[in-house]
């Protein structure tokens, strides 16, 4: 049984699961689908072709699925997909995709988006991430799993953030941040490894030691970055080292590190 406030507006065509709560003065558009157990607080707008999974909590004054802030957008059929168990706090803004970016913005599971977080068109977010207040993801940004983005941090369009990355608050990210790394600054540069995150996630200390050695070979030696990455792929059997090396070789926007 759903609990829908009498002042909420649910447009014809919207699909609601079971045990959904919708607060006062919230508006749900005709193309919206909401999964079981999701709670939507007052004064929220959910519009467009938006699919929201199970057991999410969307707080008041969020704007979810409104049209992209892209001057090239001309009303194409685009989509926003949000997974399960996400917490989306007050005054957040999530836009769907655009035709030029694949037409889909996609959010995974178990993420926390604190107040005023902005998720632009064609963004891809993985699972178990935390975005502190006023984190700003520009169009086409890709965020892998277990990422933490500090408050007041913008991320430039088309940037990729690897798994288990932590970006310090008040940073400005304009290049790709490799997996397992810590980045900070305006403009953000690598400051080392996200060791606290690695110790929480990995039980095998050998994996952490292998990542440490790989980081030194890549970013603390005089070798050209691509040469060091290719050597790691040839010599290491560790899957996390290979993930790090492949990210470096595949970067489109470059890696922000202090070269020797």
Residue 122 falls in the annotated catalytic set: yes
Question: Helix (H, G, I), strand (E, B), or coil: what is residue 191?
Answer: strand
Cα torsion 231, 232, 234, 235: sign: positive
Q: Which of 83, 126, 139, 162 is catalytic?
A: 139
Q: Is 167 exposed, middle or buried, given 0-12, 13-18 or 19+ CB atoms closer than 10 A?
A: buried
Contacts of 223 (CB under 8 A, 6+ apart): 217, 231
Q: Which of 122, 144, 145, 176 is catalytic?
A: 122
Contacts of 55 (CB under 8 A, 6+ apart): 35, 36, 37, 38, 84, 85
Q: Which of 41, 97, 118, 121 is catalytic?
A: 121
Question: Helix (H, G, I), strand (E, B), or coil: what is residue 207?
Answer: helix
Q: How far is CA 53 from CA 5, 79, 249, 260, in A?
A: 21, 14, 35, 47
Catalytic annotation, residues = 121-122, 139
């Amino acid at each position: 049984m759903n609990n829908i406030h009498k002042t909420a507006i649910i447009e014809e065509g919207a699909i609601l699961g079971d045990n959904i709560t919708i607060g006062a003065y919230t508006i749900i558009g005709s193309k919206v689908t909401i999964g079981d157990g999701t709670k939507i607080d007052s004064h929220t707008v959910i519009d467009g072709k938006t699919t929201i999974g199970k057991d999410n909590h969307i707080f008041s004054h969020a704007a979810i699925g409104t049209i992209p802030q892209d001057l090239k957008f001309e009303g194409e059929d685009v989509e926003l997909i949000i997974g399960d168990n996400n917490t989306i706090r007050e005054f957040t803004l999530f836009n769907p995709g655009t035709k030029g970016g694949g037409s889909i913005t996609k959010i995974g599971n178990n993420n926390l988006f604190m107040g005023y977080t902005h998720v632009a068109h064609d963004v891809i977010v993985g699972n178990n991430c935390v975005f502190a207040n006023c984190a700003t993801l520009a169009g086409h940004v890709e965020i892998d799993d277990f990422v933490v983005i500090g408050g007041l941090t913008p991320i430039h369009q088309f940037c990729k953030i690897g798994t288990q990355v932590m970006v310090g608050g008040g940073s400005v990210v304009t290049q790709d941040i490799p997996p397992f790394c810590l980045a900070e600054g305006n403009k953000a540069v690598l400051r080392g490894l996200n060791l606290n995150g690695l110790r929480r996630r990995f039980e095998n200390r050998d994996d952490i030691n292998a990542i440490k050695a790989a980081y030194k070979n890549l970013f603390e030696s005089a070798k050209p970055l691509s040469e060091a990455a290719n050597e790691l792929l040839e010599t290491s059997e560790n899957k996390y080292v290979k993930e790090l090396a492949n990210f470096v070789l595949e970067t489109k926007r470059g890696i922000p590190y202090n070269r020797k």
